[in-house]
Structure 1
């Protein structure tokens, strides 16, 4: 024989030099890590459930129960000013004094330096006290920080001090378990991991397996607790949609420039957020309060201009997105333009000074632009909604595949016909955003000075 046959257990080396998946799976340490991730998925889901339930309960109290208690049928036009002032006064000491500064600076996206367990108090207090007061950010970033911190804390408590690589894996798995609860399941969270990891092959498989386990276990527990307790969690869902129409040539002809327009608007808001971040590096406490007041002014302006509830422009936009999707005919073009202008400005200010997630408001802004454009001849309401959500999410995340999957899951049974348009919108928005001039702040940490 001129060459020896490989033994049954042998594995060819991977192109990137990483161990093959079969080899890693035979390691007892990795299998123990998978079991740990499965258990962590349950624990993190429970923590996430009560976290978002409490946040949603406080939000309803601030914007619905309290106005009714003082004699209003809804929040009056001036309501955002004291609410956001209070949010700024709470956020300022958290950002400048507590470890971790209350979480990542949202203008930098969902990524950033890993936050350890010592940052958990600031993240939790900031999210539960400032987001319900009307800060125009979502709960996804605090949830990811909560999941990552709890995973590392649990490993320490079990005397399983992870090394650097295992610690990163546990942190990623914990973040995925937490974010899957608010995004409606493990699929979108898993795709976020795949697209955001930046590598493939066996390394991706080894990262993806723990994340899938934690997110799947977490989703089961999270859903079960929701049905059992009856508590509202305010997850990103669209219970009602406009009548579904198969996209035609007109939808694509209008959809391409509409997606590019959304990319320009969202990228412009992000650019303003970066300028806000630079401005608040010095005298952070005072300027944070000032930014919060400016956000309140934007929300008040929306209520005065439209005569509508200021809550529509406040908060993460989950509730407003559902209302917009279910009853688009109740919104005039002028109201949609005011929503995009006022909420977009408020969101850009929050991106650079406060704490929370950037994705949910971006999906609402994109949807509002898409539905406004559906008044054009040839562009349907459902296609406008679909392309708007996809384009808005793509620009702020920089992940077109994840944004497409998120849009498909939101649209549910209506997504099948809209898939080509959704993918087209994501690609057009991504390319447009990449071609726009970009200026980096040079500060990815969100470091603040009193």
Structure 2
């Protein structure tokens, strides 16, 4: 019945209730964006103090090799306390993706505290999942305060719009937030428009608030961006021939890290406090091992990786291949441990690890650094997020002016990595856990 969908969409757009929902989405985008801005600014301020100012204050030009051990131990203690004592266990476990259903407001304090402790003190995770949870929870709180809690559809739609508003700028573009939610929600037809239009409104408002408030205060939020990328020498046959096996290798590495995270998630369900602390210290040991092996800053192997990704893209020639391989080993292992035990999002480290492998392979015949970064980010994002269109859009936004030239390569890498990851997820990961089943989008 192809003609029924336009009719339903017309009715939807003319509905006074839905127009009110669009207006409410725009309104909630402002306070949610301000709260998200405050969260990310605080997280970056604490991170800068722990990994930059404090080492210099005690006489080190950069954090020494052993610095991650006490930092991650403190993170483990704080996350363990939140998981054991506060409602919601500190929020969504990152190995299960970006999160699923709406976040109850009563769980927000635990989400914020666990994410701040994890992200600021060195967990190899990004801020995207906590931001989505914060936006969702605040939107639900708004719905309840407006006495709309008896409208399940309003709750679901505004929860998704709140998530879009909160993450609209951390990925560098509100478009990425909306495309990501299109795939994550898994809807089609009028249902898709019912959810996406409020999300577009809220994410657009969120981007304006993030940008304007940042300029007014002078505070930075550290949005994922690549100010400089290697010059593109033009795509050749070698770029495409190398992109396919490279995407497969990246998918295998991502799925292996997630399989480790799944097992650690199950392992930390009992004796939660001490096992969470043990996992956090293990993440610190990975960062310390990287610093000992390379003589470089342990912060490169800790944290989300967004600063390291920008540095890698700006100066790929300054990274020896052995250092890149050590980064893949130690940060990849730290990422897998963080996925199953700490709190944050899975996307940012996957982009860095994919790009690092791409740069390490850029010396292959017919394969350049720009192509390596484009392939690595697209493949890493597709395998980690399991949202191929969002992965292509994210990689394209990050590549900036070179995106049009690299787009065919990024699409091929995304499709290959996504297909390889999906084929591997069953044998390596086993059946979905109870949390994954609970968080799975309901279409």
TM-score by length of 1: 0.94
Aligned to 1:218: 206
Structure 1 runs of 4+ aligned residues shifted over 6 Å read none
Offset at residue 162 of structure 1 (A): 4.6
Of 376, 388, 410, 1:422 maps to 410
Q: Distance in 2 between matches of 1:12 and 1:331?
A: 57
Answering whether residue 430 of structure 2 is matched by residue 442 of structure 1, we say no
Equivalent runs, 1:121-136 vs 2, <5 Å? 121-136=109-124
* SS across alignment from 2:331: helix
Offset at residue 112 of structure 1 (A): 2.8
Bigger helix share: 2
Of 327, 350, 362, 1:362 maps to 350
Equivalent runs, 1:33-182 vs 2, <5 Å? 33-182=21-170
Note the alpha carbon deviations across 1:203-244, whole angstroms, 9 max, x for none: 111111000000001101111111221111111010111112
Q: Distance in 1 between matches of 2:4 and 2:434?
A: 39
Answering whether residue 265 of structure 2 is matched by residue 272 of structure 1, we say no
Aligned to 2:381: 393
Q: Distance in 2 between matches of 1:86 and 1:107?
A: 21
Which protein shows a greater Rg? 1
Q: Distance in 2 between matches of 1:134 and 1:289?
A: 13
Offset at residue 12 of structure 1 (A): 4.5
Q: Distance in 2 between matches of 1:25 and 1:120?
A: 32
Q: Distance in 1 between matches of 2:43 and 2:184?
A: 28
Aligned to 1:8: none
TM-score by length of 2: 0.95
Preserved CA contact (<8 Å) 2:65 2:288: yes
Equivalent runs, 1:8-19 vs 2, <5 Å? 12-14=3-5
Aligned to 2:217: 229
Answering whether residue 399 of structure 2 is matched by residue 408 of structure 1, we say no
Q: Distance in 1 between matches of 2:43 and 2:37?
A: 10
311-320 or 433-442: bigger deviation = 433-442
Aligned to 1:3: none
Note the alpha carbon deviations across 1:76-99, whole angstroms, 9 max, x for none: 000000000000010001012211
* SS across alignment from 1:236: coil
The two structures, once aligned, show a CA RMSD in angstroms of 1.5
Aligned to 1:208: 196
* SS across alignment from 1:159: coil
Preserved CA contact (<8 Å) 1:386 1:422: yes
Offset at residue 185 of structure 1 (A): 2.1
Offset at residue 59 of structure 1 (A): 0.4
